[in-house]
Amino acid sequence: MSQDFALDYEGNCTVEQFSDLSAAAQKRIWKSARWNGWAYILAAGAIYFAILYGIYLFSQSLDRAAYATAPYSPDGLLIIGLIIGIAFTVFVMVMFNVAQRRLMREHGFRASGSYCGPRQYRFDANGIHTVGPHSQSFVNWDAILEMTETKKTLLFWTDTLAAVMVPKDAVGDEPDIAHLKSFAGSQIEARNTGL
C-alpha cells in the first residue's frame, strides 16, 4: 500500500463503549498479574479456612455438656457460619462489581467531554490519528502492542491499561470492520517483526 493510503472514519464515543474498554482492561490486569485470579482466590480461601480451623479448635475446647440441649452443636454452627460467610463474600464481590460499573456508566464521563462525544479517526501508514471536540492525538504504529475487539469497539493497546478505542459503528458494517482489522493488523505485525 502506498504512503498516501488512509482509512477515514467518523463516529461518536459513548459511555457504554468506555465500559467495554474498562472491562477489557480489567481482563488484561488479571492476565498480566504475577498471580492469576485463581491464585488470589485460593490464597483468600486458605486464609479463610485457617481462620475457620482456629474457630473449630476453639469450639472443641468448649464444654460439650453445655450444648447438649442446644438445637445445633458447635460443629453445626461452624458449618452454618462457613456457608453464610462464603455466600456473603460472593454477594459482596458481585455487588461491588455491579456498583462500580453502574457508577462508571452514570458518572464516569461527560457525554461531550474529553473521552466521549464525536470523533474522527484516520488510519494511515504512519499510525492512528484521532480528533475530538477538545483534543487531537496521534499514535505511531510502533506504539501499538496489539489489537483486540469487544462487541462494540476495536481496541488498539499501547500499554496494559491504555488503548485507542474505535467504535465499530463508526467503522461501518462487518466488511468495513474486517478491512480495518486487516490493514491495522498488517501494520502492527510489520512493526512488531521489524519489517
Q: Is residue 64 domain-shared with residue 121, that is, in the same domain?
A: no
- Number of domains forming the structure of the chain: 2
Whether residue 172 lies inside any domain: the answer is yes
Cα–Cα distance for residue pair 162/155, rounded to 1 Å: 9
- pTM, two decimals, is 0.63
Helices 15-32 + 74-107 axis angle, to 10:
130
Q: So what's the pLDDT on residue 6? A: 84
Whether residue 23 lies inside any domain: the answer is no
Question: Structural domain of residue 98, as residue ranges?
Answer: 28-107
Q: So what's the pLDDT on residue 109? A: 63
Q: So what's the pLDDT on residue 43? A: 77
Q: Is residue 100 domain-shared with residue 119, that is, in the same domain?
A: no
- Which residue is associated with the grid cell 498488517? 186
Q: So what's the pLDDT on residue 138? A: 94
Whether residue 94 lies inside any domain: the answer is yes
Residue 179, C-alpha cell as written in the block: 478491512
Q: So what's the pLDDT on residue 108? A: 62
Q: Is residue 116 domain-shared with residue 189, that is, in the same domain?
A: yes
Q: Is residue 164 domain-shared with residue 144, that is, in the same domain?
A: yes
Whether residue 75 lies inside any domain: the answer is yes
Residue 82, C-alpha cell as written in the block: 462457613
Q: Is residue 44 domain-shared with residue 118, that is, in the same domain?
A: no
Q: Which CATH number fits the domain that encloses residue 161?
A: 2.30.29.30
Whether residue 97 lies inside any domain: the answer is yes
Q: Is residue 177 domain-shared with residue 118, that is, in the same domain?
A: yes
Whether residue 39 lies inside any domain: the answer is yes
Last residue of a domain, one of 73, 107, 141: 107
Whether residue 21 lies inside any domain: the answer is no
pLDDT along the chain (195 residues), means of 10: 74 78 77 65 80 75 66 70 82 83 68 75 93 89 91 89 89 92 89 65
Q: Is residue 83 domain-shared with residue 116, that is, in the same domain?
A: no
Last residue of a domain, one of 107, 135, 158: 107
Last residue of a domain, one of 42, 72, 107: 107
